[in-house]
Amino acid sequence: MRLLAYSKHLLPTIFLALAVLSSPGLVRGADGDVVVRVMPFEGSYRQGEEITVEVWVENVAQLYGADISLRFDPTRFSVLDADPIRPGVQITPSSSLLSPDMVIRREADNGSGQVWYAVTQLNPSAPVSGSGMLFSFRLQMKLAGLDVVRVESQQLATRDGDLIQANTRDARYWISVNGESPKIAIFSLVPVGH
């Protein structure tokens, strides 16, 4: 019963946050192109090695909410749980740019190969401009080969709910038994970004 009562109070806030993330208009970024980027953007790693992956937004103006979805091959990568107390596989919000006043999603699905993060600021937080990390997660390397952690979708929104136009940059990682890079320029064969 308490959960139901809590949900009734939370629903109007969630609907407000979703309205911020839906987009009646389109806004251009600050100086230069706005980019949603996966970092590090490339590297060579050993099977079993763990790295911290960060998702950044660069050159943004008037940002108030974000909804980012990443895709990865679950046979090659596995996201490690940042908060074992909570159900599911959790990722880590960042406040280096956007204040995570209301986190709607912060989860990874190792079965389907998806990371999903949705957040909005709430009053009295002011819109933000510039560059900074939105969230991070620990990624474990599994099966040898080359693969991509791809930005599947992204929506950046202003306080008025207008979409901020942005480009994306994916990350590509080579996994091997010894962590050595391939002897050929294989990285150049995999397109990055959309």
Q: List the domain boundaries for the chain.
A: 2-189
Inter-CA distances, 148 with 38, 49, 74, 96, 143, Å: 10, 16, 11, 25, 13
Q: Write out the two tokens for 21.
A: 């993330």
Single pTM value for the model? 0.79
Alpha-carbon gap, residue 180 to 178, rounded angstroms: 6
Q: Write out the two tokens for 146.
A: 């080359």
Alpha-carbon gap, residue 104 to 37, rounded angstroms: 21
pLDDT at 177: 85
pLDDT at 183: 60
Alpha-carbon gap, residue 106 to 119, rounded angstroms: 8
User: Domain 2-189 is in which class?
Assistant: mainly beta
Rg, C-alpha atoms of the chain: 18
pLDDT at 47: 95
pLDDT at 10: 42
Q: Say if strands 89-90 and 167-169 run parallel, antiparallel, or are unpaired.
A: unpaired
Phi, psi values for residue 29, rounded to 5°:
-80, -170
Nearby residues of 145 by Cβ (< 8 Å), 6 or more positions away: 76, 174, 175
Phi, psi values for residue 14, rounded to 5°:
-65, -45
CB 119 within 8 A of CB 143: no
Nearby residues of 12 by Cβ (< 8 Å), 6 or more positions away: none
Please identify which residue in the block is written with the tokens 């990865």: 72
Phi, psi values for residue 99, rounded to 5°:
-75, 120
Question: In which residue ranges of the chain is pLDDT below 50?
Answer: 1-31, 184-190, 194
pLDDT at 26: 47
